Every structure is written in C-alpha cells, then in structure tokens.
Amino acid sequence: MDVQTIRNPVECVIDELREVATGVAGAGRSIGHTSTHLFSRPLAVSKIELSDLKEVLASGFDDFMAYRTDIVFLLLIYPLASLAIGAAALHHEFIPMLFPIVSGSVIMGPFVGVVLYELSRRREINLTRHHVDSHSWANALSVTRRRNFGAIMLLGLMLVAMYLVWLGTAFWIYRVTHGPQAIESVGRFVADLFLTQAGWWLIGIGLAVGFLFAVLALMMTVVSFPLLIDRDVGLGTAVQTSFRAVRANPLPIAAWGLVVAGGLVVAAIPLLIGLAIAMPVLCHASWHLYRKLVPRLPAAH
C-alpha cells in the first residue's frame, strides 16, 4: 500500500526546477544526433475516415480538461495580443498586419503545440498502465530529453521562417493593392477594406495566398512533430511521412484543416478569448490524429 504524503511548496518547486534542469541538459545532446540522423526506415501510414475526426477532437478535449492548458495560453496570447493592438493604436500603418499576425497561428500552431503533444503522450501512457499522472506542466519539458529534440527545434525554425515569409508577403500584398498612402484611422481602413475594389483585391489575394501557406504547413506537420516526439526517426523521414499521410487521406486531412482554421477563426472573434481553449484542444487532438494516421509499433514480447 502506498503512503500518501503532503509535500511543502518548497519541495514542489525544487522538484519542478530539477525536472526543468534535466530537460535542458538533455537538449544539447540531441543536436549532434539530428545532423547524422536525417533519414530512417520509411513508416507505414493508415487510412482514416471523416468520422474519426470526432473521436480525435473528443480525446483532445479530454486531455485539455486533464491539464487545463488554457492558463498557459492565456499567459501567452494576451500579452502578445496587447502588444499588437497597442502597436496598431499608436501606429496606424501597423493595422493591416493584425490579421496576418493572428492568422499565422495556423502556421505556428504545430510548433507551439509540441509541449502539449508530450503531455498527451504521457497521459496516454499513464492511462494504459493505470497510473495516476501528476498533471505537472513541467512534465512537458521531458520533450527536451528526446534524442530528436534537435530535429523538433529545426522543424520549428522552418515554421518560424515560413511565418515570417507569410508576414512579409501579406505586407507586400497590402502595398501592391493599396499603395503607400498613410492610414488615417481604423474606421477608414475598415471602410476601404470592404467598400473599395482595392479592399476586395486585398481580401481575395490575401486569403488565397494565406491558404497556400496554411496547406503547406499542414502537409509538413500533420504527423511530423508527434512522430519525432514518439519515435527515434530522422527529420526527413518524419516530414516525408507527414506528406504521405496527407496523400493517403486527402479528404479527412482537408476536413481537419478546415476544422483547425474554422475553430481558430471562431475562437478569435470574441477578443481572442476563445483561443485559450481552442488552441490547446486542437493541439491535444493533433496528437490523437497522429495516433490514427501512423500505426503503433508492435508491443515487445
């Protein structure tokens, strides 16, 4: 019989810091592994149905309720949103970039969700073994001890670069359609956006180009980040497997992309409040989508 004890706050903090320090120490060892392990044995991918997406979302919501990661996203989203809105209020020329910055969360989401994938993985293991998880967010930092942590960071940097290219492209589209004239006010910008031909061109071209960026990010990452966390595979193999999973399941993956994009748009409408729930739920759900797309390794006997 296990004896339950109550630890004081100092002991809890020390344990959390020890977990963090161990994770940081392991991160350095993965860099060399990445450079010599770009490709590994090809992996099989499974076919899924549209109905599987409902189960994926339900499992993601269960993980969200177990860890309540909305608090983490609240701490991240609102300071960034406040900075963006403040910059737009002080400098009107920044206003056209608000939508590209927010919509770029579709590109950056898979990288931001890495720690949540790890939480879902750990909860999955604990449920399978009938263990009780401590539900500590510091547990998510165990991802830094993975041999593939260097590959995860490299793939994340690729998404950061894609995000920056998207912002530059969005700004270029605005300049091409509207020219260099100064923005007088938020109201005038909104009126020009919806009531002028240049505004409609900006909306149409911007959405079309943004869609291409989002599709590319989805194809690259639909299984690659969870796969790198779950198995010791090369970065090239992880990305290839992601593209192959999309080719094998074009309709379900397209539907998943619409769920993600639509969920983020709807969640962002009420002053970005819904993003604190939608983003972690979708990130946790992405782990369970990976589980359906890439068959598990057979259990060792």
Give the H or E element holding residue 252.
helix 250-268
Q: How confident is the model at residue 261 (pLDDT cuts 50, 70, 90)?
A: confident
How far is 286 from 267, CA to CA, in rounded Å?
A: 17
Give the confidence band of 17 by pLDDT, cuts at 50, 70, 90: very low
Question: What is the chain's alpha carbon radius of gyration, rounded to the nearest angstrom?
Answer: 21
Q: 17-21, 64-68, 184-188 — which is least confidently predicted?
A: 17-21
Give every CB contact of residue 158 below 8 A, 6+ residues apart in sequence.
Answer: 220
244's tokens:
């192959």
Could you read off the pLDDT of 54-108 as tens digits, one per residue? Answer: 999 999 999 988 877 656 655 555 555 555 555 555 556 677 887 888 788 788 8
* Contact call for residues 268 and 102 (beta carbons, < 8 A): yes
Task: Show the DSSP H helices in 5-148 as ranges.
Answer: 9-35, 52-67, 70-90, 98-103, 105-112, 114-128
User: Model-level pTM?
Assistant: 0.78
Cα 51 to chain center, whole Å? 23
Contact by Cβ (8 Å): 279, 69: no
Closest CA to 47 of 285, 267, 215, 293: 293
| DSSP 8-state code for residue 231 | S
- The 10s digit of each residue's pLDDT in 115-135 is 889 888 888 887 766 554 545
Q: Mind listing the pLDDT tens digit for each residue in 93-102? A: 677 887 888 7
Burial of 67-85, coded b for 16+ CB within 10 Å and e otherwise, reads bebbebbeeebeeebeebe
Q: What is the pLDDT of residue 272?
A: 66
| Total number of residues shown for the chain | 301
- Contact residues for 16 (Cβ-Cβ < 8 A; gap 6+): 136, 138
CA dist 109 → 156, 160, 281 (Å): 10, 10, 11
